[in-house]
Amino acid sequence: MVEVSVSQRITSDDQLARLLQIGIVLEEVVEARAHHHYESLDAELDEEVETLLADAAEESAEHRARLEGLIEGLGVDSVPFDEIESLVDARYGRTQPDDFDGVLYDQLCNEETAYKFYDDLIEAIAGSDAEFSIDRAELLDTLEAIREEEAEGVSEVTEVMERR
Partner 1 sequence: MNTADQYLKTIYVVQKQADGPASTGSIADALGVSPASANEMIGKLEERGLAEHEKYKGVRLTDDGIVKARDALQTYCIIERFLANVLAVEEFREEAHELEAVIDDTVAERLDTIIDRQPECPDCFDPETDACACLEVGAVPVEQD
Asked if 112 touches partner 1 (CB under 8 A), the answer is yes
- Closest approach, Cβ 33 to partner 1, in A, equals 8
Minimum CB distance to partner 1, residue 90 (Å): 8
| Coil/strand/helix, residue 161 | helix
Binding residues with partner 1: total (CB under 8 A): 34
For residue 151, the minimal CB distance to partner 1 (Å) is: 15
Q: How many residues would you count in the chain?
A: 164
Contacts of 76 (CB under 8 A, 6+ apart): 13, 14, 17, 21
In this chain, which stretch among 46-54, 61-69, 110-118, 142-150 interacts with partner 1, using CB under 8 A? Answer: 110-118
For helices 13-40 and 100-126, what crossing angle results, to 10°?
170
Q: Does 154 bind partner 1 (CB under 8 A)?
A: no
Residue 77 region, left (φ>0) first, then alpha (ψ -120 to 50), else beta?
A: beta
Say which residues have a Cβ less than 8 Å from residue 1's Cβ, sequence separation at least 6: none
Distance in angstroms (rounded) separating the CA atoms of residues 115 and 147:
5
CB of 47 to partner 1, least distance (A): 27
**Which residues, numbered 16-45, are part of the site for partner 1 (CB under 8 A)?**
18-19, 21-22, 25-26, 29
Tell me how crowded residue 139 is: count the other CB atoms within 10 A of its CB: 19
Residues in touch with partner 1 (CB under 8 A)? 1-8, 10-11, 15, 18-19, 21-22, 25-26, 29, 79, 83-84, 87-88, 91, 95, 109-110, 112-113, 116-117, 120-121, 124
